[in-house]
A and B are shown apart, each in its own frame.
Chain A
Amino acid sequence: MDKCEVLKTEVLIVGGGAAGVRAAIEADIHGADVCLLSKGPIARSGITPLAYPSLQAAFATNDPRDNPDVHYQDIIVQGRYLADENLARVLADESIPRALDLEKFGIKFKKQDGKFFQVHHPGQTYPRNLSIIGGGFGLIYGLKREVQRRSHIRILEDFCVSHLLKDQGEVVGAFGLNMRDGRFYAIAAKSIVLACGGYEELWGNTDTAPDSTGDGVFLGFQAGADVIDLEMSQYYPTVFAHPESVKGVLIQYETFLERQYLDFRLANNEGKEFLPEGPLPVRDTLMRLMFTEIEGGRGTEHDAVYIDPSRSSKSFKEIDDLVNELLKGPDKNLRKLGIDIRKHRIEVCPAVHYTLGGIHINEKTETSVPGLFAAGENASNVHGANRVSGNALSETQAFGTRAGRYASEYSKGKRHGSLPTRETREGIQKWNDFMAKKEEGIRPLVLRKESKQVMDRYMGPNRNEKGMKEALRRVLDLKQNSLPQVAVTGGRIFNVDWRTAMEVSMTLDLAELVIRSALFRKETRGHHFRPDFPTTAEISQHTLVTKKDQKIEVILTPVRKLDA
Chain B
Amino acid sequence: MAEKLIHVRILRYSPEEKIRRLETFEVPHRPAMTVQTMLRYIYENTDPSLAFRDFRCGRGICNTCCIKVNGRVLRSCETPVQAGEEVLLEPANDPIIKDLVVEPD
The total of chain B residues at the interface (CB under 8 A) is: 37
**10 contacts across the A-B interface (CB closer than 8 A):** A43-B62, A134-B61, A180-B97, A207-B58, A210-B55, A243-B30, A245-B33, A249-B58, A333-B60, A497-B48
Cβ A44 vs Cβ B55 within 8 A: yes
Q: Cβ of B32 < 8 Å from any Cβ of A?
A: yes
Q: Looking at the assembled complex, report how far the CB atom of B8 sits from the nearest CB atom of chain A, in whole angstroms.
A: 16
- Which B residues between 32 and 68 are near A, CB-CB below 8 angstroms? 32-34, 36-37, 40, 43-44, 48-49, 51, 53-55, 57-64
A41, A45, A209, A243: the one contacting B103 at CB < 8 Å is A41
Q: Which residue of A lies closest to B77 (CB)?
A: A245
A413 an interface residue at 8 Å Cβ cutoff?
A: no
B101 within 8 A of A: yes
Bound-state Cα–Cα, A490 to B47, Å:
10
Q: How far is the CA of A134 from the CA of B51 in the complex (A)?
A: 28
Asked whether B97 lies within 8 Å of A338 as measured between CB atoms, the reply is no
Query: What is the minimal beta-carbon distance from B93 to any residue of chain A, in angstroms?
Result: 13
Q: In the complex, are the beta carbons of B97 and A336 less than 8 A apart? A: no
Which B residue's beta carbon lies closest to that of A338? B32
A443 within 8 Å of B (CB atoms):
yes
Whether A158 and B97, one on each chain, are in contact in the complex, defined by CB atoms closer than 8 angstroms, is: yes
Closest A residue to B58 by CB, please name it.
A249
Residues of A within 8 A of B (CB): 40-41, 43-45, 49-50, 134-137, 158, 179-180, 182, 207, 209-211, 243-246, 248-250, 329-330, 333, 336-339, 443, 445, 488-497
10 further A-B pairs in the complex, CB-CB below 8 A; given A211-B55, A490-B49, A492-B16: A158-B97, A210-B54, A243-B31, A244-B32, A244-B40, A245-B34, A245-B37, A489-B49, A491-B15, A494-B99
Chain B residues, CB < 8 A from A491 = 14-16, 49, 98
List of B residues within 8 angstroms of A179 by Cβ:
97
Q: Is B71 an interface residue (CB 8 A)?
A: no
Residue among A49, A137, A248, A496 with most chain B CB within 10 A: A496
Chain A residue with Cβ nearest B31: A243
Query: Is A337 a contact partner of B34 (Cβ separation < 8 A)?
Result: yes
Are the C-beta atoms of A41 and B98 separated by less than 8 Å? no
Shortest Cβ distance from residue A336 to the other chain B in the assembled complex, whole angstroms: 6
| Complex Cα spacing A22 to B61, Å | 22
| B80 at interface, CB cutoff 8 A | yes
B-side contacts of A210, CB under 8 Å: 54-55
Which residues of chain A have C-beta atoms less than 8 A from B84's C-beta?
none
Q: Cβ of B57: which chain A residues have Cβ within 8 Å of it?
A: 49-50, 136-137
Instruction: List chain A residues, Cβ under 8 A from B78.
Output: 333, 336-337
Residue of B nearest to A243 (CB): B32
B-side contacts of A211, CB under 8 Å: 55
A333: B residues at CB distance < 8 A: 59-60, 78
Smallest CB separation, B87 vs chain A (Å): 15
In the assembled complex, the CB of B60 is this many whole angstroms from the nearest CB of chain A, namely: 6
A209 to B104, CA, bound (A): 18
B80 A493 Cβ-Cβ under 8 A: no
Q: Bound state CA distance, A102 and B86, in angstroms? A: 46
Residues of A within 8 A of B58 (CB): 50, 207, 246, 248-250
Chain B, Cβ-Cβ closest to A445: B44
B32 near A443 with CB under 8 A, answer no
Q: Are B55 and A330 in contact (CB under 8 A)?
A: no
- Which of chain A's residues has its CB closest to B57's CB? A49
Q: How far is the CA of A494 from the CA of B77 in the complex (A)?
A: 21
A496 B55 Cβ-Cβ under 8 A: no
A337 to B29, CA, bound (A): 13
Task: Indicate which residue in B59, B97, B104 contacts A330 across the interface (CB closer than 8 Å).
Answer: B59
Given contacts A210-B55, A211-B55, A337-B78, contact A495 B49 (CB under 8 A): yes
Q: Chain B residues near A43: list those with CB within 8 A.
A: 62
Q: Give CA–CA (A527, B71) in the complex, Å.
A: 48
Given contacts A211-B55, A491-B14, A494-B51, contact A44 B80 (CB under 8 A): no
B39 to chain A, nearest CB (A): 11
User: For residue B15, which residues in chain A have a CB less than 8 angstroms away from its CB?
Assistant: 182, 491, 493-494
Of all chain A residues, the one with the shortest Cβ separation from B40 is A244
B61, B62, B98 — most chain A CB neighbours (10 Å) = B62
